[in-house]
Structure 1
Amino acid sequence: MEKVHVIILASGKGRRLGNQIPKQFLKLAGKTIVEHTVEVFEKHPQIDEITIVVPQQYRYLLEEILLRNSFSKVKRVLNGGKSRKESSFIGLSALDDEDKVLIHDAVRPFVCNRIIDDCLSALNHYEAVDVAIPTSDTIIQIDHRHFIKDIPNRNKLKRGQTPQAFKVGLIKQAHILSMDDGFDNVTDDCGLVLKYQLADVFVVSGEEINIKITYKEDLYLADRLFQLSSNTEYGNINLLDIKNKVIAVFGGSNGIGREIVDLAKKYGAKVYSFSRNNGVDVTDYCKIKEVLNEIFLRESKIDYIVNTAGILNIGSIESRDIDDITYEINVNYLGAINVIKAGIQYLEMSNGAFLLFTSSSYTRGRSLYSTYSSTKAAIVNLVQGINEEFSINKNIRINAINPERTNTLMRIRNFGNEPEESLLDPFKVAEISLQTLLSKISGQVIDVRK
């Protein structure tokens, strides 16, 4: 019976990125890049088997990844060759000629099901399929002196992506022919098919988001793309699933925290709300430990811990009192650390999740709000760093909600009356917060917009 294979080429050294380990093993959004890529094909219903080709000296890193995941479709891990072409043939050599294969770069983690579907559909009619997008830039051809030789019509030019799809027997034949005549001047597998005129290559549409992570700038872009993609992941989550979950909310007496408490209770969760109004200050680590222990003794579990506690004070560093500055930092930043450290033991037992809150001001410091904005930037770094720590040996998730200007008492106290239609409804923030807790995402900053 014909099978559909995927060969994931993870054998690059990543020298252009300048890291000590290859780029496919760098972490983004709580997972290595290659993990994200494998996960896409693992979840696709038409993919039968996955083969991963890696550098021999970094094979142990991939084996660690496989040990902490349940990738049932990964059937082979093969040591790569000296070139992309050689690594591709190593993967192909393990497959039967009558099967179909997708060959994909490990560092393209944003490949989507639509592209995969289109490739497999095209393989029903063609023996070779490429993926490409239109070029928005003018392409120039230069001579050996670096003068422009030609400017091709860009309407006929496209930028190639992966996966590329083939009948296994055809692409194997192309590789064997290239080895026989020593042809190595090729950057992808479709180039070999064209070189030996073995078949026409049909092109399906790729997507701009299907980027290849090559340079340092690509890492920053990819990180943001993961954030944007995670913002849609919670959309299909039913809040009825939060019934009987045990949730501790710090900062639950006002604003977003109160909305979370009320909404979670409405859907049947067992919610415990804490704030300075009932004697719990997040700057007091011992008190946080005490109330979490009380919840656990009563409920025998804690599923989720949310920290919305925060304060916002205005003033320049020069004009503000040092005690006032210190307390704002302690509440906004140290408070989050206190909540996390005190809660780890409980969420480890429940495979639960933390949820913190940042602000749109985290991306750039604001005059008169420098302390506040810097603590919110620290929250983002805290979430990312701790998520990496958790990913090693703890099944705990952690994310940060980043709401835009929200209609809360804290905002009114600091900015006065504003047009209500210009502010985000805290109910919407609460709804997305609960959906994020129920989701599988981790290490993300979830933007909430009107």
Structure 2
Amino acid sequence: MAVILAGGIGVRVGLGIPKQLIKIAGKAIVEHTLEVMNASGVIDEIIIVMNAGAIDQLTSLQNDERFPKLTRIIPGGETRNDSTQAALAALDDDPNTKVLFHDAVRPFVNERILDECVEALDHYEAVDTAIPSADTIIQVDSASHITAIPNRSVLRRGQTPQAFRLGTIRRAYALANEDKTFHATDDCGVVFTYLPDTPIFVVDGTPENMKVTEPIDVHIADKLFQLQSASLASDVAMPDLTGKVVVVFGGSYGIGASVVEVAREAGADVHQFSRSTTGTDVRSRGAVKQALKEVFAASGRIDAVVMSAGVLRMGPLTKTKVKHIESSIETNFVAPVVVSRAAHKYLKETGGQVLLFTSSSHTRGRANYGIYSASKAAVVNLTQALAEEWAEDGVRINCINPQRTRTPMRTHAFGEEPVETLLDPRQVAEVSLKVLDSGLTGQIVAVRVEEAPKVQ
């Protein structure tokens, strides 16, 4: 049994909504946490204890086919301890039931931690999760004077899950409720204080098992979700796309052409469009709509739409012609907007995905191609925004960030470069197909030259 504690109101995170409902990588944080719990082989049932004022925002999850182990969503109390006791009141009467309490805003808990917590309950009545402290911990008094510096080697930073035999945690809270001075910040603290003879075993956590509490944590969590896609290149086999219909805009050369080639090798029915081969201008709403309409008429479905077309012009802004500035913005940003908008209705029917492309220059504007890098930064924001907008429709959208790839566009802009410093377009295409076959959404997946074809 797992209890996900989602009673927080998110004051510190400062986004105006309960922190567990903040969306990262296209899903609310609590959904990410729920996915991990639901996938665990050691968890049979899940209860969510939700902030009573926002409980209606989670009711749809209870009938969601993604979470068959989720049986109840109940209102929490004013404090964490109140929420725990609300869950205890809802559980069965078997004192030997194994129950895990986990923060909804720790979405990076892994299978190993869950397994070890449950296994430890075969030998202990209470289990905590913690990691060593990398910082020196000091103790201060009311005047902010240091009064003690504990030995760091014996200190740990507490995390969740915390696991208990049901009878033990109930007994600890029964004693706590008789104490008018009772105060604890977590459930192991209740056992430690009121059942001092009960040993509490500690399972090793991970630094990634962070709690999203402060505004900066949201940004860190977003990056950690991107890092989770590292296995796409090395650990995941090329997908079988037999029966899938893939549309590639900008498929005549470079990365787009490689995507077409690799997708066909994977068994997909691939349709490619470009200005040079089909006369399709990706900046034209009418041309894009007509292309998708033709594919749907011929194939009856569209499962993925890839937009790889782009243009890179070098030169100082003050010396760049206005028509070239406009063309760059239209091709590199407006076109992805046009393609994404037109693709949505087809992908909604298949639960499909849009795949866009950005550049490593999106993180910082580069001299002499500022319009390009600014447009690519806009594509990143577009990806993340649409992932949230389209989550309820089941339409996914991701963005590939290939660093220094050997394409005609790059060669034209930068000239010949050492081959070993560049990605091969096929490497990028292979990662792209793995992303298309994944459940990811809202991700900016970087394919790095240094570790090609790894993904971060």
- Normalised to the residue count of structure 1, the TM-score between the two structures is 0.96
| C-alpha distance in 2 between matches for 1:56 and 1:425 | 53
Shift of residue 69, structure 1, vs aligned partner: 5.1
Instruction: State the match for 2:396 in structure 1.
Output: 397
Shift of residue 266, structure 1, vs aligned partner: 1.7
Instruction: State the match for 1:320 in structure 2.
Output: 320
Shift of residue 109, structure 1, vs aligned partner: 0.4
| C-alpha distance in 2 between matches for 1:68 and 1:372 | 41
Comparing 93-102 with 31-40, greater Cα deviation is found at: 93-102
* Consecutive aligned runs of 4 or more in structure 1 exceeding 6 Å deviation: none
SS in 1 for 2:379: helix
Instruction: State the match for 1:9 in structure 2.
Output: 5
Matched to 1:285, the amino acid is R
How do residues 19-418 of structure 1 correspond to structure 2 at under 5 angstroms? 19-68=15-64, 70-95=66-91, 96=93, 97-196=95-194, 197-232=196-231, 237-278=236-277, 279-392=279-392, 394-418=393-417
| C-alpha distance in 2 between matches for 1:65 and 1:318 | 53
| C-alpha distance in 1 between matches for 2:298 and 2:74 | 51
Matched positions, count: 445
In the superposition, relative to structure 1, how do residues 240 and 179 fare at CA in structure 2: closer, same or farther (>3 Å)?
closer
For residues 304-330 of structure 1, give each alpha carbon's deviation from its aligned partner in whole angstroms, at most 9, with x where no partner exists: 110000001112221111110000000
Shift of residue 352, structure 1, vs aligned partner: 1.1
**Is the Cα–Cα contact under 8 Å of residues 363 and 377 in structure 1 kept in the other structure?**
yes
Taking every aligned residue pair, what percent have the same amino acid on both sides? Answer: 47
Matched to 2:253, the amino acid is N
**Is the Cα–Cα contact under 8 Å of residues 358 and 401 in structure 1 kept in the other structure?**
yes
**Is the Cα–Cα contact under 8 Å of residues 85 and 187 in structure 1 kept in the other structure?**
yes
In the superposition, relative to structure 1, how do residues 240 and 135 fare at CA in structure 2: closer, same or farther (>3 Å)?
closer
Shift of residue 155, structure 1, vs aligned partner: 0.5
**Is the Cα–Cα contact under 8 Å of residues 62 and 71 in structure 2 kept in the other structure?**
no
For residues 150-169 of structure 1, give each alpha carbon's deviation from its aligned partner in whole angstroms, at most 9, with x where no partner exists: 11110110100000011010
For residues 161-213 of structure 1, give each alpha carbon's deviation from its aligned partner in whole angstroms, at most 9, with x where no partner exists: 00001101000100110001124321111111111214100111000000000
SS in 2 for 1:51: strand
**Cα root mean square deviation, aligned:** 1.3
Shift of residue 268, structure 1, vs aligned partner: 2.0
| C-alpha distance in 2 between matches for 1:15 and 1:408 | 48
Matched, 1:423 2:425: no
**Is the Cα–Cα contact under 8 Å of residues 132 and 157 in structure 2 kept in the other structure?**
yes
Matched to 1:148, the amino acid is I
| C-alpha distance in 2 between matches for 1:105 and 1:74 | 15
| C-alpha distance in 2 between matches for 1:48 and 1:240 | 30
SS in 2 for 1:272: strand
Matched to 2:125, the amino acid is E
Q: Which runs of 5+ in 1 are unaligned?
A: none
- Normalised to the residue count of structure 2, the TM-score between the two structures is 0.95
SS in 1 for 2:164: strand
Shift of residue 218, structure 1, vs aligned partner: 0.4
**Is the Cα–Cα contact under 8 Å of residues 239 and 433 in structure 2 kept in the other structure?**
no
Matched to 1:86, the amino acid is D
For residues 273-325 of structure 1, give each alpha carbon's deviation from its aligned partner in whole angstroms, at most 9, with x where no partner exists: 11110201101110111111111111111111100000011122211111100
**Is the Cα–Cα contact under 8 Å of residues 85 and 184 in structure 1 kept in the other structure?**
no
Matched to 2:79, the amino acid is S
SS in 1 for 2:58: helix
